[in-house]
Amino acid sequence: MTVNIAGVVLTASVAAFFVGALGSFIDRRIGYLASSAGSVGLLAVAVTVIVGGSVTGATWFGPLGASEGLSLDALSAFFVLVASIVWTATSLYSLAYDDRRSPLLAVTYSLALGSIALLMSASDQVLFLIGWETMTLASYGMILQAHGRGDRVYSAAFVFLAFGEASTLFVFLAVAGFWVGTGTFTFGPHLGPGSLATLVFVAGLIGFGLKMGIVPFHMSEWLPIAHSSAPSNASAVLSATLTLAGAYGLFRIVSLLSSPPLWWGAVMLGIGAISALLGALFASVSEHTKGLPAYSTIENNGLILVALGVALLAESDGLTALAVFAVFAALYQALAHAVAKTGLFLSAGYIEHTSHTFDLNSIDGSVKEGSPGEYAGTIAAVLSLAASPPLAGFVSEWMILESLFQSYRFGQSWVQFVGLLSGAAVALAAGLILVAMVKFAGFSILWKPHASTPAKRTPGLGAVVAAVGTIVVAVGVLAPWVLRFLAPSASAVLGANVSAPVGSLLSVPADWSILSGSPFGIMSPPMIPIALLVGATVGAGYYLLGRPRPRRRVKLWMAGSPPGEPGQTYTSFAYSTGIRVMMSSVLGTREVRESQGPVAVAGVHAGEPYSVDLEVFDSFKLFYAALVRIGNAISDALKAWIMPGRLGRYLAYVLVVVVAVVVYVAAAY
């Protein structure tokens, strides 16, 4: 028997996080270093698995007598791969970022990473559930480490915990349903169609959806991040990989349920499209350097759902080619989002470090003075999230829209209609998220004057952001090769061997292009930079060899007023007020005015100064407020009815239970 090196590395890597968590009590750097090492180890194993096949790590016998332990197949390996890329970046970043916080941050951080690694590499569903629950608890601890603890932090963390526990409950339900149907906790056998499968699907969609922050559970995503202003490394982990865990769960469920009915896909598609639209809308009116990316996460997870929904619909309808393409799109979306979003949160951390603010309106120019790496990395991440070619986000957005364009192929007209509406929503979301991303880049870096005082230089942070930016570019430009690399993972989802949707057209080299169904769209990401490069070369040559032309250089013109007067610059808030006003019915925009009393100059009425606040309101808050009220009412009623505080009643309960047990045991034997 050969030594299973990959299995050993897998086990050691997962263990490294937990060891690091303990070590953080001594020195927080131990935790971050151990996390970095664990991430790199996981990265290596994941690549090995995708290229070479499944790997099994340590196994033991679980409480229910079944064998359980760590193992990776092509599907889980994909998610471990994405997560480990993110973690490598955030852990190295944390070494420079976290220099004065409580060691508990490093402890909970390592613990959260370890839990996610555990649940993703769990070979069976019980271990998965254990990892799922520790992930929730560790993340709760992480959110509590925010600056300036107060009611906001505690209530935000509590909301996170409440949603997290609700999520565990539904995931538990899904696992139980699966066990009833198949009699096993392993990820092997498929569950055939039926009411049990429907239960598993619905419970899974809700349970994992809660973690992905899709509508109507989006509070679980933005609220803890924005309201508590959680530490940036924690935000990146929460937004990029905690939601990734939810996506992993969803992919797993889809892969384990065979012959899905049409409405599953339609529901996923619809919810995904609404999430994408609302996420993008709220992102575009957010003024918080972390709230904005958090809302964007809702949009991106919605897009994953959209792609999966199309895949399910296509599978139900027998459109295999479309199903394959949509699954690739979903995987690509998960990858593109996680990496770019990490870049954005790390950039927000950089802004926090230099400008000491989370408010896009009050960022000063010192961010601009920082490092070129931070600058370039942020731009790459922002452009990718805004789906600009040739970056990662563009490829996935293109693939998702291409699969939606093909909804005309569906057999039933109502499905076509759902596809059409979802396509419109996704396209609108793409437009709105562009506003949000331009706003983030513009008001944090691009449109800022240079600061008068030199910024505090923290090259480590900038370097990590730059590295993330490089990955974003590479994943975009090298898309055809990445897709081929992902073929085993897609096969795992579909349960059949599929090849990447790549091909060629005209004089583009073979397999340099992405094909969305043979007679449909084609796009070649590597050709875009090449075309840009050729264009730039021609332009430069023309400029250098041609007749020298005078440069027309002019100064900034502000209608004759001196430019750059303080208080006269466009605010980030004003940039998106148009959307606040136009979409007021969705955003619940309302203006609050407060008069400061009339003022007179030399006895003549000279106006009445007032303060003004234009507020937007997430109307789902009303839904949750109602839910809380109903919950309180029920518990009040139960309290009065079941627990009235009379001893006699409680003794009667005990008696009833004892009798019931006696009857059950007697009946069994």
Partner 1 sequence: MPTWIGQAVRNGIVTTRYPEVPASESEIPPTGRPPVPTQGPNSLRAGVSLCPVGAISERAVDQGKCIRCARCLPGGFEFLGPVEAAVLTRSALAAEESPGALSRPIPPLAPLSRSLHVFLVDAGSCNACNLEVLALTNPLYDSQRLGIFFTNSPRHADVLLVVGVPTDEMVEPLRRAYDALPAPKAVVAVGVCAISGGAFAGIEGLHDSLDQLLPVDVYVPGCPPAPVNVLDGLLRATGRGRRT
Partner 2 sequence: MIGSSRTPSGRPGPTSANPDLALAYAADDGSFAVYNDYSSGHETIRPGSEAEGSRDVVATWRRTSDAWRVRPAAPVEAVEGYGVFTFPYGPISMGVPESGRFDVRTYGERILALSPVAGYKSRRILSSVCGQTVSDAALRIERLAGNFSAAHVAAFLSAAESATGASVARGELWVRALAQELQRIYNHIHVIARVAEAASQNVGTAQAHALAEEMLRVQGSVFGHRWLFGALLTSGPRRRLDPAERRALGGTLKRHAEAFERLWELFLGSRTFVDRIQSTCVVAPSVARDWGAVGPTLRACGIAWDDRLRVPTSPYTDLFLDLPQESSGDALARLLVRAHEVRASFLLIEQLLDRWPVTPEALEAPPSSLASSRGLGRVESPSGDLVYDVTVSRDRVVSIGMRSASQANFPVFALGLRDGVFTDFHFAWESFGLVFAEVDG
Chosen from partner 1, partner 2, none, partner binding at 576 (C-beta under 5 to 8 Å by type): partner 2
- Distance (Å, rounded) from C-alpha 207 to C-alpha 170? 5
User: Minimum CB separation from partner 1 for residue 489, in Å?
Assistant: 53
552 binds, among partner 1, partner 2, none (CB under 5 to 8 A by kind): partner 1
Residue 238: DSSP 8-state: I
Residue 397 site contact among partner 2, partner 1, none (CB < 5 to 8 Å, cut-off depends on kind): none
Smallest separation, CB 589 to partner 2 (Å): 11
For residue 617, give the 3-state DSSP assignment: coil
Report the distance separating Cα 158 and Cα 163, nearest Å. 9
* Separation between Cα atoms, residue 175 and residue 128, nearest integer Å: 10
In the complex, what is the shortest distance from the CB of residue 447 to partner 1, in angstroms, rounded to a whole number?
A: 18
Q: Which does 361 bind (CB under 5 to 8 A by kind): partner 2, partner 1, none?
A: partner 2
* Least separation in angstroms between CB 565 and partner 1: 13
Residue type, 49: V
Per CB under 8 A, does 666 bind partner 2? no
Residues recorded for the chain: 669
- The dihedral through the CA atoms of 501, 117, 38, 99 has a sign that is positive
Of 600, 647, 654, 666, the one binding partner 2 (CB under 8 A) is 600
CB atoms within 10 A of CB 486: 20
Q: Which of 198, 307, 322 is nearest to 263 (CA)?
A: 198
Which is closer to partner 1, CB of 100 or CB of 553?
553
Q: At closest approach, how far in Å is the CB of 587 from partner 2?
A: 14
Closer of 556 and 665 to partner 1 (Cβ)? 556
201 in Cβ contact with 264 (< 8 Å): yes
Q: Pick the binder of partner 2 from 195, 611, 641, 648 (CB under 8 A).
A: 611
Footprint (CB under 8 A) of partner 2, residues 245-304: 287
**Minimum Å distance from CB 555 to partner 1?**
5
Q: Does 507 bind partner 2 (CB under 8 A)?
A: no
605: contact with partner 2 by CB under 8 A: yes
- Choosing from 5, 533, 534, 606, the residue that interacts with partner 2 (CB under 8 A) is 606
Output the CA torsion sign for 361, 364, 370, 371. Answer: positive
Q: 544 or 559, CB closer to partner 2?
A: 559
Which of partner 2, partner 1, none does residue 65 bind to, with CB < 5 to 8 Å depending on kind?
Answer: none
User: Among residues 65, 372, 519, 567, which is the contact residue for partner 2, using CB under 8 A?
Assistant: 567
609 contacts partner 2 (rule: CB under 8 A) = yes
596 belongs to the binding site for partner 2 (CB under 8 A): yes
Query: What track of x and - describes contact with partner 2 for positions 307 through 346 (by CB under 8 A)?
Result: ----------------------------------------
Q: What is the dihedral of CA 626, 630, 636, 641, to 10 degrees?
A: 170
Residue among 417, 542, 543, 610 that touches partner 2 (CB under 8 A): 610
Contacts 24+ apart (CB under 8 A), 606-613: none
Looking at this protein, which amino acid is placed at residue 548? Answer: P
Cis amide bond preceding 216, omega within 30: yes
Pick 100 or 605: Cβ nearer partner 2: 605
CA distances from 175 to 168, 305, 312, 321 (A): 10, 20, 20, 30
Query: Count of CB atoms within 10 A of residue 614's CB?
Result: 16
Report in angstroms how near the CB of residue 578 gets to partner 2 at its nearest. Answer: 5
Instruction: Choose among 386, 289, 295, 275: nearest CA to 340.
Output: 386
Q: Report what 548 binds from partner 2, partner 1, none; CB cut-off 5-8 Å by kind.
A: none
CA distance 43 to 331: 17
Query: Which region, judged by CB under 8 A, interacts with partner 2, from 4-12, 312-320, 392-400, 604-612?
Result: 604-612
Binding site for partner 1 (CB under 8 A): 550, 552-557, 560-562
From the list partner 2, partner 1, none, partner contacted by residue 556 (C-beta under 5 to 8 A by kind): partner 1
- Is 107:31 a contact under the CB 8 Å cutoff? yes
Specify whether the CB–CB gap between 58 and 9 falls below 8 A: no
Among 63, 372, 603, 648, binds partner 2 (CB under 8 A): 603
Does position 565 bind partner 2 by CB under 8 A?
yes
- Do 400 and 249 meet the contact criterion of CB atoms below 8 Å apart? no
Among 509, 598, 631, 644, binds partner 2 (CB under 8 A): 598
CB nearer partner 1, residue 63 or residue 560 = 560
Listed in sequence order, the residues at least 6 apart from 613 whose beta carbon sits closer than 8 Å to its beta carbon are: 591, 592, 593
Quick one: 3 or 602, whose CB is closer to partner 2? 602
Side chain identity at residue 628, one-letter code: V
Q: Are 76 and 117 in contact (CB under 8 A)?
A: no
By CB under 8 A, name the binding residues for partner 2: 287, 361, 558-561, 565, 567-578, 580-581, 596, 598-614
